[in-house]
A and B are shown apart, each in its own frame.
Chain A
Amino acid sequence: MVTIQVCVGSSCFLRGAPDVIKAFETIIEKHAPRQVELKGTFCQELCTKGVTVRINEKVFTAVAPEDVPGLFREQVMPILRGDARADTGG
């Protein structure tokens, strides 16, 4: 299970958090609808750096909608593959 948290505080909201959420929703629905949980959070105190996204414990700042596929491929998929292996192993 992967948890993706997108900050929707004032600053991130203005800098396009809703579009980032939409991009994540689309890609999650396509690739791993039941294995990824998408959540919103309020201010992560990293406001000056653009939209803040937390994938499990890792924090990414200044995320734009076009960064979402890359983040998903490089950060989310490896965890999911690891989960799948762990599941079949156990």
Chain B
Amino acid sequence: MGRLHVEVEKCQLNKHGEELCGDSVEVEAGPDSTIVVLSDGLGSGVKANILSSLTVRMAVTMLKGGLKLEEVVDTFVHTLPVCEKRQLAYSTFSILQIFNDGNVYLAEYDSPPAFIGRGSHLRTVPRSERIMDERVIREAFFSVGDGDWIVLASDGVLHAGIGGIWNIGWGWDRVGDYISSTAARTMLASELAEEIAEVTGKLYAYKPGDDATVVAVRVRHPRYLTMLVGPPVNPEDDREVVDKLLGAPGKKVACGGTTGNIVARILERPMTVDLTPHDKRIPPIGKLEGIDLVTEGMLTLSYTLEKLESGMKLRDAAMKRDGASLLASLLLEADCLHIIVGRAINPAHQSPDVPRSLALKHKIVDGLAQVLRSMGKTVKVEYY
């Protein structure tokens, strides 16, 4: 079965006219578990932002250090600044800890109940109540597996559309229905979080009456991708790297014409080039049975990096057919990536006609690894 991949993505809308969001989110991916904390601070603006950011930071730091929830709550009570107007030190929280084996601990204090589901179905997960420092904390222990999702939302999401489209706002049940149907037709946590935030914004007519935060968590068996970039310095290693590519689980990509030719030669299969024009800046792709995608090398890679760095979404990439968008799409879908970089120097890239930046294969690969890691993916880069 192996370990599960936990993907966490958040989306926030600030209350109309506020520069700071009064909700805070902190995610900590540790070796055994992933901790997610969402907090909604009292009021809005700076004050709420300070309260909620202190809350999430303290919670993550203490839980990571192995402290019990009682101690965390006790610390909140005794250290959070007290609001002068309301004489309260108050911020809500939802704490989610997902262990690598799929066991989950959830603690909620005055926040909307988390949405927990599998596929297109919302699950009913019973909570038990515990009193800590005169506060009622709702707790749940449950387990998740491949295809499960959990969405934490601040009350700003539930209230969306209040007094406008909906008399009493979007509401937990309707939000739950929307999340279930969205989860069923999307793959990534980022897609789920963004779509919920998008509808929230629309319901508020783009002038949110409250800070609204969505944190989407998706659990699945990791999706693997192995990508060969460039031929090895030593041609004797050709077979070894191709064997690594072919023997790897998941999707397989060859980047670079010569690289594609090497794979085709070892596979003893013909490679064809698809000349259908899609984007005139991006070279055509190759077709090779057994390999999910064959592209040209450095131009395609640098456009792919450009697309990912500018925040290209999976749904946008999936609609385009050019080499860089196809590659971006596969990279966005993968959770665990292995990039095998061949360091052979292409004499053509040393010519003055070729922009200098293109010759810097390592720089582009490093850039890709960095942007993919920032999305929570595991990236291993190996050189030959």
Contacts and interface: CB of A to CB of B under 8 A. Distances in A.
Report if A and B associate in a common complex: yes
A40 interface: yes
Nearest to A49: B348
B299 A8 contact: no
B355 to A, nearest CB: 9
Contacts of B347: 47-48
Interface of A: 7-11, 13-15, 18, 21, 38-43, 45, 47-48
B284 A40 contact: yes
A13 B299 contact: yes
Interface in B297-323: 297-299
Contacts of B351: 11, 48
A8 B348 contact: no
A38 B274 CA distance: 11
For B284, B298, B348, the residue with the greatest tally of chain A CB atoms inside 10 Å of its CB is: B348
Interface of B: 256-258, 260-261, 271-275, 277, 280, 283-284, 286, 294, 296-299, 346-349, 351, 353-354, 358
A21 B275 contact: yes
Contacts of B297: 9-10
Contacts of A7: 257
B247 to A, nearest CB: 23
Nearest to A38: B275
Contact of B274 (A13, A18, A40, A47): A40
Nearest to B295: A42
Given A18-B280, A21-B275, A39-B275, A11 B261 contact: no
A2 B296 CA distance: 26
Interface centre among A8, A39, A42, A43 (most CB of B within 10 A): A42
28 contacts: A8-B257, A8-B275, A8-B283, A8-B284, A9-B257, A9-B283, A10-B257, A10-B298, A10-B299, A10-B346, A10-B358, A11-B346, A11-B348, A11-B349, A13-B283, A14-B353, A18-B277, A39-B272, A39-B275, A41-B257, A42-B258, A42-B261, A42-B273, A42-B286, A43-B346, A45-B258, A47-B346, A48-B348
Identify which of B258, B274, B280 gathers the most chain A CB atoms within 10 Å of its CB. Answer: B258
B348 to A, nearest CB: 3
Nearest to A25: B275
A40 B275 contact: yes
Contact of B349 (A10, A13, A40, A42): A10
A60 B251 CA distance: 36
Contacts of B272: 39-40
Contacts of A21: 275
Contacts of B261: 42-43
A54 B298 CA distance: 23
Contact of B354 (A14, A43, A45): A14
B354 A40 contact: no
**Chain A CB within 10 Å — which of B257, B297, B349 has the most?**
B257
A48 B354 CA distance: 11
B50 to A, nearest CB: 52
Nearest to A45: B258
Nearest to A7: B257
Given A11-B346, A40-B275, A41-B273, 11 more contacts: A8-B284, A9-B257, A9-B296, A10-B256, A10-B257, A10-B298, A13-B299, A42-B273, A42-B294, A43-B261, A48-B351
B188 to A, nearest CB: 31
B353 A43 contact: no
A10 B353 contact: no
